Amino acid sequence: MEMRRLRVINQLNSYDLEESDSERGRSPDNFAEGHGNLPYRYEPYASDADADGDDEGSGSEDGEPAATGGIPADFSRLTNIEWCQCGTCSYINMEKPEECVCCIELERVREKNEGQAGDCITQHPAFQTVCLDPDVLDVAYSHYKQHYGPMDKFQNERRRYTAYRQFVRWIWDFLGKNIRVPLPACVVTHVRQRYPSPEFTGFLDVESAS
């Protein structure tokens, strides 16, 4: 585990982060300037994985693949946990049905976890290092800061936001412009437990985020 952790940190130190078209010039702080105070805005910044035709397969200069496989909205998911197949999801503090999605429902996440001992992506050996290790997150945030400047937020908020970015990069690599993917509820739950906050916000779709 320690060797994996050091390897990830070294890779981050030597990796000049290339941002996708959807991320360039768009920090959470800049986005909030035109939308008022957004509590917990560093939480899942994601939307429907079904991208518009102009974005899907358009191929930005970074060559980001389009994400597919959106989960239909079902408001009953906000009041029960029957949709969870991995055994670690929670609907507590989830405000929209789009947030109530299990990692097993997402094809790319299933592919990443294929052959692993645990059913949940959070049980993958790399998840702890890539998405939860504070040193790895701080190094990843340092790269983010080089592009966008510092986040004027508490450490746990920065680490949550960075953890979600790390997870998306780990699973989907690059995403095209205006393509957002739902974060599995199990992932959100584990990140919130590790880096808690008294305030939570939820899933932002493309229209809400633009």
Domain count, the chain: 1
| Amino acid identity at 145 | K
89, two tokens: 């999801």
Q: What is the pTM of this model?
A: 0.65
Instruction: Determine the Cα–Cα distance for residues 130 and 137; give it in Å rounded to an integer.
Output: 8
* Residue 84 pLDDT level (bands cut at 50, 70, 90): very high
Report which of 206, 9, 92, 87 is spatially closest to residue 1, judged by C-alpha positions.
9
192, two tokens: 């919130």
Check whether 101 has a pLDDT greater than 70: yes
Give residue-wise pLDDT tens across range 13-31: 444 434 443 443 344 444 3
Cα dihedral 167, 115, 107, 56, rounded to 10, equals 70
Q: Which helix (H) or strand (E) holds 82?
A: none
Contact 20, 64 (CB under 8 A): yes
Mean pLDDT of the chain: 72
| Amino acid identity at 80 | N
Contact 97, 78 (CB under 8 A): yes
* Residue 91 pLDDT level (bands cut at 50, 70, 90): confident
Give residue-wise pLDDT tens across range 162-172: 999 999 999 99
User: What is the DSSP track for 149-210?
Assistant: ----S-HHHHHHHHHHHHHHHHHHS---TT---PPPHHHHHHHHHHS--S-------HHHH-
Check whether 107 has a pLDDT greater than 50: yes
User: Domain span at residue 133?
Assistant: 2-209
